[in-house]
Structure 1
Amino acid sequence: MTQPAHSVAETTAQRPPGTAAAGPVRFTTSRAFRVGLWLHRWTGLIAAPFFLILCITGTILIFHEEIDEGLGYAAHAEAPAPGTPERPLSEIVAAAKAVAPGRQPLALVFDADHPERVTVSLVEPGARTFDGAKPVVIDRYRGTTIAAPDPRSTPTGIILTLHANWFLGLPGELAGGVVALLVVICLVSGVVIYGPFIRGLAFGLIRRGRGERLRQRDLHNFLGTVTLGWALLVSATGVTLALGDIALKVWQATELQRLAAAHGGQGHDLAAGPGASLDAVRAAAEAAKPGWRTSLMLYPGSAFSTGRHFTVLLLGPEGLQKRLFEIALVDAADARVAEIATLPWYLVVTQLSHPLHFGDYGGLPLKLLWTACAWFTLFITGNGAWLWYARRPRRRTSAEAGRGAGQAA
């Protein structure tokens, strides 16, 4: 990732006195080149150790489903007989509460890839966020519990926490975003530095027999060019994902407050009844957006809903709509849809960044491509740091030789 661009400068130093400098050499003496070189070198060196960890953990996470399946952490449910009706959602919630008595449901999660199961998030009474929530997976057709570990405690879950926030929560997410931003700067400055110098060389040329450093530098430039687009995409989406929690808090403080002010009022006590059934709430939300399906139902009084409404997240039927969602605000008393809200642009960017970052929307071929690019980038990062370090003995030797010559004179 970081490589000292000095081949042209060294050529200039070796040119006999009085020889005119060519155009590309004049570029290396410009302020733009010096700034670009400084940015490329030091952003790369600072980000290198963290980026190595992110590449390794990111490669593992590309195959998290296959790894969970192989290690036995995936939840399984028998396929229902044809025509088997779904159990009422109230029955599913009751089955989940029986697993963790004293807790209250905060949300129901519907898995599009596994429609036979629903995850009920249970929290302590009065809790409004998912901190400390206990997920319970229930068979939608049998109403029975499906054995499944907490996804945060599995090997891939722990690796995801390391990759996403370094086990530090929001500060760790922001630190990861800073690393991703440094990588973006390193990549862009690398293009500025090396672009003019590869015009006279065949693309992909690896010069041999002229020293290991030159060969490694050519490999660095070639692989860096091949993976540039991928590295920019993954790094830029890493920045946006690192800001995801902040974007959600902005939405809570603005759009959610607007919805609460427009449709709020006295909350409905779900425990007191009768109110609308959970199935009625879900059906009303889906009827308001034909073809869209429920992905998440958040109870009234959560940090992401009003005091009297369920917040229902609806996923679209095709294309990008499958990666985005719209928000239905459904009254808990009578299942009336108060409003269908679209996502603000910053949450749209966050939602679209996730599949692009992990490459999990194109099946196995795309996963293999993402993996290959990640490992090429690992090599570029490592050999860039080596190229910088390999110059140091030469500089010390040159300085010592200069001092020796001065003393002899």
Structure 2
Amino acid sequence: MSTSPATSAVRSKGRFFRANLWLHRWASLVATPFFLVLCITGAILIFHEEIDEALGYVPAVERAGNAAPKPLADIVAAAQKQLPELRPISVFVDIEHPERTVVGMAPLTATKLEEGKPYFYNSYSGEPLGTTDFEKTPTGFILELHANWFAGFFGQLFGGLIALLVLISLISGVVVYAPYVRKLLFGMIRRGRGTRLVQLDLHNFIGAVVLGWALVVTITGVALALGGVALAIWQSTELKEMATKTPVAADATPLVLTALPVTIDQAVTAAQAALPDKRPYFLIWPGTDFSSPRHYMILMSGTQPYDERLFDVALVDAVSGQLADARPLPLYLKAILISEPLHFGDYGGLPLKLLWVASSLLTLFITGNGAWLWWARRRRAVARTATAVTR
């Protein structure tokens, strides 16, 4: 006997629902213990700057009114004088805190940017303000746990897998919750019919409220987990290509990285001539994994709130002072750069941060009560089975 199209559609719809129910349940259960950790650490990291400043890990400097900051070369020279056994490897120009400049100082043989240690200087006087090993601060410890589970690159990928499982749980949860929306008033909590039903209604209601936030955080979490891979691709392709624009002469003598012919200010001038609507944000010396043996690399940021996180890259010859190449970052890196402030609610000041914390705590609740709902259902099923066997 043939099955009618209507019956097939109902069965197909039922299979689709059951498949999503299975996905929602098991993706959530697998991710729950790890996602609880991510919710707690993420809520703390939203205020990592404020925490670091309150604990004294970031020096406080009063702004000098309309005073002009010292040339970057002068601040770098002060760092070299203070730390002659090290060499400058980077300079960070803090857009939100122009009163302080951060110089990365590294061992003379260093070739990796991560080998640099940040030293703070007063942007107006050049006075040293101390240094901080951010990996050893409370927020540094929490960030290491949140970002890579203390397991480096593979921990970062694991975190991305957890974010992907949560994303699957969210999408399948929408499919599972949709039929209930037609039967119940949105936000209705059915009381007087048992704790489990109340918890289920709370799970569905709060899940719907934070759905948009959770989608943003999980999608950006996946993107950030792939950041190391994306960066490696860019280094081996576009950055390598840019560095070939100024060939080194056959008789060129090796650069003395502690006394380059072209100062950092001259390099910035060349970059700004090519990118007049941009400002210097992060500057990297030659001889690192983010530059070349001959070039400064300068990240130039936009001047407006909507593009201050989107960088153009300029490579400037450290011998001639001429621009080798300037181009925007590729779209895949721009997506990752945008993901970080979205992930931590760092786009709209205090109101957005408070919203992010509230959403994190609500998500923490529904993650925990979702696990409880599964356990309560399983316990009831086991109890029913045991009762049937004893009869």
Deviation at 1:208, TM superposition (A): 0.4
Q: Distance in 2 between matches of 1:346 and 1:355?
A: 16
CA distance in 2: counterparts of 1:28 and 1:338, whole angstroms: 60
Q: Secondary structure at the match of 1:198?
A: helix
Among 56, 59, 68, which residue is 2:40 paired with? 56
Where does residue 300 of structure 1 map in the other structure? 286
Choose 89-98 or 233-242, whichever is displaced more. Answer: 89-98
* Aligned counterparts of 1:356 and 1:201: Cα–Cα separation in 2: 33
Displacement of 1:230: 0.6
Tell me if 1:79 matches 2:63. yes
Once the two structures are superposed, what CA deviation does each residue of 1:10-48 show, in whole Å capped at 9, x if it has no partner?
xxxxxxxxxxxxx9xx57982212221111111101111
Give SS of 2:44's match.
helix
Aligned residue for 2:319, secondary structure, equals coil
Residue 273 of structure 1 and its aligned partner are, at CA, apart by 5.7
Distance 1:361 1:81 in 2: 26
> Match for residue 102 of structure 1?
85
Indicate the residue corresponding to 2:210 in structure 1: 227
1:45 match: 29
CA contact (8 A) 1:265 1:307 kept: no
Structure 1 stretches (4+) deviating beyond 6 angstroms? Answer: none
2:243–2:315 CA contact under 8 A, matched in 1: no
Q: Measure, in 1, the Cα distance between the counterparts of 2:12 and 2:52.
A: 51
Q: Distance in 1 between matches of 2:115 and 2:171?
A: 41
What residue is the counterpart of 2:4 in the other structure? none
RMSD: 2.1
Once the two structures are TM-superposed, the CA of residue 379 in structure 1 deviates from its matched residue by: 0.5
* Whole-angstrom distance in 1 between the partners of 2:168 and 2:120: 43
Cα distance in 2 for partners of 1:182, 1:77 equals: 44
**2 CA distance for matches of 1:27 and 1:54?**
38
Q: Which segment drifts farther, 72-81 or 314-323?
A: 72-81
SS across alignment from 2:130: coil
TM-score with structure 2 length normalisation? Answer: 0.92
8 A Cα contact 1:44 1:183, kept in partner: yes
Contact 2:243 2:324 in 1 (8 A): no
**Contact preservation (8 Å) 2:102, 2:121:** yes
Q: 1:139·1:145 contact (CA, 8 Å) conserved in 2?
A: yes
Count of aligned positions: 382
SS of 1:389's equivalent in the other structure is: helix
> Which residue among 211, 232, 237 is the counterpart of 1:249?
232
Report how far residue 73 of structure 1 moved: 2.2
1:287-366 to structure 2, matched below 5 A, reads 287-366=273-352
- Using a 3 Å threshold, how does the CA distance of structure 1 residues 36 and 70 change in structure 2: closer, same or farther? same
The alpha-carbon deviation at position 80 of structure 1 amounts to 2.8
1:102-251 → structure 2 map (5 Å cutoff): 102-251=85-234
Aligned to 1:12: none
Q: Partners of 1:160 and 1:381 in 2: how far apart?
A: 21
**Contact kept in structure 2, 1:36 and 1:189, CA below 8 Å:** yes
SS of the aligned residue for 1:30 comes to helix
| Pair 202,309 (structure 1): closer, same or farther in 2 beyond 3 Å | same
Q: Which runs of 5+ in 2 are unaligned?
A: 1-6
The equivalent of 1:15 in structure 2 is none
Shift of 1:116: 1.8
SS at match of 2:103: strand
C-alpha spacing 1:81/1:112, structure 2 compared with 1 (3 Å): closer
Going from structure 1 to structure 2, the CA distance change for 1:30 and 1:103 (only over 3 Å counts) comes to same
Matches of 2:109 and 2:257, distance apart in 1: 13
